[in-house]
Amino acid sequence: MNNQYMRKDGRAYNSLRNMKMEVGVLNNADGSAYIECGHNKILVGVYGPRELHSKKHSKPDGAVLRCKYNMAPFSVKERKRPGPDRRSTEISKLISEAITPSIFLEKYPRASIDISIEVLEAEGGTRCLSIVGASLALADAEIPMKDMISACAVGKVDDHIVLDLSEEEDQTGQADMPVAIMPRTGEITFLQMDGHLSDVEFEKALQLAYDGCYFINKLQQQTLLTKYGGDTRGKYNL
């Protein structure tokens, strides 16, 4: 039975790893976020909207969203060669595509919004966590958005549908399906599938991904509230 299945790291099928989120962690970026999940550690900085002087790259009807995902050489067990590779180019593109539907880019013609994502430590699930962190950093930069995008991976391990795959589960499991949604509308802004799921398994996995994303969205909202919400101490000193 799925409900009793105990994963190698002791989690239930529907448990996320421990998560920690923070915004406003960098002084020199317009917006920033730091996110931990299990042993993943990811830092995101946002610059913009800034005027894009290059006519070739700018768009008259809205801002250009540019996203760079980078893994530090020390982020994985065997030193990673510094610099971009095919994987980081693909992930940068998909993060940008997952986030684009949430931003009112049309408000900033001929401008650019740049998102830099630095993976300091990786343990499976970095593309989803980067989307979560990038949305937080954009909100921290006060860029108008319809909603913060939330993301998590679901998959199949030992014939069980599970939430938030670890690196080991990602590598030894039967399927891995990272998903991003816009919680307010339920719109799926990104979905990939590696491996095989039956129709029934796919429906079950997608529902679990929605549950995970809604939970993560609440954490994102709390993280912003912790920095910006409610507490007016020291702000209105007479």
- Applying CB under 6 A, which residues contact ligand ADP? 76, 78, 80, 87, 122-127, 167, 170
Q: Alpha helices, DSSP H only, in 33-125?
A: 86-99
Q: What residues contact residue 122 under an 8 Å CB cut-off, 6+ apart? A: 39, 40, 71, 75, 76, 167
Three-state DSSP at 121 gives: strand
Closer to ligand ADP by CB, 87 or 218: give it: 87
Closer to ligand ADP by CB, 196 or 227: give it: 196
Task: Quote the least distance from Cβ 144 to ligand ADP, whole Å.
Answer: 28
Closest Cα to residue 17, out of 134, 125, 111? 125
Task: Quote the least distance from Cβ 130 to ligand ADP, whole Å.
Answer: 8
Closer to ligand ADP by CB, 112 or 116: give it: 116
Task: Quote the least distance from Cβ 232 to ligand ADP, whole Å.
Answer: 39
Q: What residues contact residue 30 under an 8 Å CB cut-off, 6+ apart? A: 46, 47, 48, 141
How would DSSP label each residue in 128-195?
A: HHHHHHHHHHHHHTT--BSS--EEEEEEEETTEEEES--HHHHHHSSEEEEEEEETTTTEEEEE--EE
Task: Quote the least distance from Cβ 124 to ligand ADP, whole Å.
Answer: 4
Task: Quote the least distance from Cβ 94 to ligand ADP, whole Å.
Answer: 9
Closer to ligand ADP by CB, 89 or 222: give it: 89
Closer to ligand ADP by CB, 126 or 189: give it: 126
Task: Quote the least distance from Cβ 96 to ligand ADP, whole Å.
Answer: 15
Report the alpha-carbon distance of residue 221 to residue 146 in Å, rounded: 13
State the burial class of residue 22 (Cβ atoms within 10 Å of its Cβ: 0-12, 13-18, 19+).
middle
Q: What residues contact residue 232 under an 8 Å CB cut-off, 6+ apart? A: none
Closer to ligand ADP by CB, 98 or 141: give it: 98
